[in-house]
Amino acid sequence: MRTTIYFLFISAALLLSCNDQKAKSTDTDEKSSYFDYSNSNDQKTGGIKMIPITTPKGTFNVWTKRMGNNPKMKVLLLHGGPGGTHELFENFDGYFPNEEIEYIYYDQLDSYYSDKPNDSTLWTIEHSVSQVEQVRKALNLDKDNFYLFGQSWGGLLAMEYALKHQDHIKGLIIANMMASIPEYEKYAAEVLGPQLPPEVHKEIKAMEAEEDFSNPRYSELVTQHYYTKHVLHLPLDEWPEFINRSFSHMNPNIYIYMQGYSEFGVTGNATLKGWDISDRLDEIKVPTLMIGGKHDTMDPEYMEWMSTQVQNGRSLTTNGAHLTQYDDADNFFNGLIKFIKDVNDGNFTEN
């Protein structure tokens, strides 16, 4: 009798174990649709689409690449510059897929992977906003799924887009971009410049006064003393390959035309001179995240203030610089992902 009970006990234990293994196997075998591109029109290209953009000077194609599938959370990434590339965001690959957030790389017109008409009449905020709207329509992004992320110049562009088309946006993220060029210039002149070694600051200002921007010494000083503190808060030999590659692909023509030569402000007749929408921030009603960095070229306190001016704002300040998606990636992505999911789940609250 005791032997029979023993064998019954062992049999029951084995049966429970098998059922548990089957449950685990079923859980493991369930496939996520996140990376399933089957039957999509961009399957053969791995998510890449060249989107035709209609302009007053003709139709040109811009490069986009979709990463993943999520019908409720789709993030369009607007790169900086003007004239930069999507490559600055390549480390999003290390964070968003695990959260199953769909995101779309996008090179704006005249950037490295897109067509380059090289026509300065197209280098305007108005045309750039129109371009984003055409991309949105082509990718079927709408108020139920569309998150717009913009960094630096991309942040300026995202704000301008929101002021015109926010009815199409589910959530807005502005990273490392103040709402006022004059305030940015003031911060650079009064706070960041004086933080440089006095002799370096003096030499840089002297060359700027002479408009000697092509002098290799100017580039050397700015790169070694300014970029390593306020663009990416790391020594140059620790800058990652994808960021260096993006800088090597920068289009200087559009950058100089709109921004100018200096990192301390907009120079000469560059077209972004005087841009300021700070008094219009209260028109933005969609949930908005403002991201700044303690070492940024943009004033982090001003970025926090911006979050109080929009109707539904939240602020995130990292320990990074202008490219804080890399030099303080954990804080950056934790805050960004939380914002996206809070909005998606209906749990968004202001700071």
CA 75 to CA 67: how far, in whole Å? Answer: 10
Q: Please compute the mean of the pLDDT values over residues 94-122 and round it to a whole number.
A: 97
Question: Any catalytic annotation for residue 152?
Answer: yes
Its pTM stands at 0.90
Q: What percent of the chain has pLDDT over 90?
A: 82
Model pLDDT, residue 265: 81
- 281 Cβ partners below 8 Å, 6+ apart? 159, 179, 306, 309, 310
Model pLDDT, residue 24: 46
Out of 107, 110, 296, 328, which one is annotated catalytic?
296
Burial of residue 116 (number of CB atoms within 10 Å: 0-12, 13-18, 19+): middle
CA 155 to CA 81: how far, in whole Å? Answer: 10
**Closest alpha carbon to 70 in 33, 102, 40, 92:** 102
Model pLDDT, residue 282: 98
pLDDT at 1 over 80: no
Q: Please compute the mean of the pLDDT values over residues 322-347 and round it to a whole number.
A: 97
The mean predicted confidence, pLDDT, of the chain is: 91
162, 98, 238, 194 alpha-carbon torsion, rounded to 10°: 30
pLDDT digits (tens, 9 = 90+) for 127-180: 999 999 999 999 999 999 999 999 999 999 999 999 999 999 999 999 999 999
Question: Residue 329 corresponds to which amino acid?
Answer: A
pLDDT at 18 over 70: no
CA 48 to CA 278: how far, in whole Å? Answer: 36
Model pLDDT, residue 28: 46
Question: Any catalytic annotation for residue 296?
Answer: yes
pLDDT at 3 over 70: no
Q: Among the listed ranges 76-90, 122-136, 265-279, which one has the minimum average pLDDT value?
A: 265-279
Model pLDDT, residue 350: 73
Out of 128, 130, 152, 180, which one is annotated catalytic?
152
Model pLDDT, residue 242: 97
Query: Residue 39 to residues 44, 49, 73, 165: CA-CA distances in angstroms?
Result: 10, 15, 20, 31
Q: Among the listed ranges 20-24, 118-122, 191-195, 309-313, which one has the minimum average pLDDT value?
A: 20-24
Model pLDDT, residue 80: 96
Q: Among 21-25, 158-162, 347-351, which range has the highest average pLDDT?
A: 158-162
Decide which of 21 and 133 is more confident. Answer: 133
Q: Among the listed ranges 5-9, 60-64, 272-276, which one has the minimum average pLDDT value?
A: 5-9
Question: Any catalytic annotation for residue 246?
Answer: no
| Residue 203 in tokens | 């030499």
Q: Going by DSSP bridges, is the β-strand pair 74-78/146-151 parallel, antiparallel, or unpaired?
A: parallel
**Closest alpha carbon to 102 in 162, 47, 49:** 47
CA 176 to CA 155: how far, in whole Å? Answer: 7
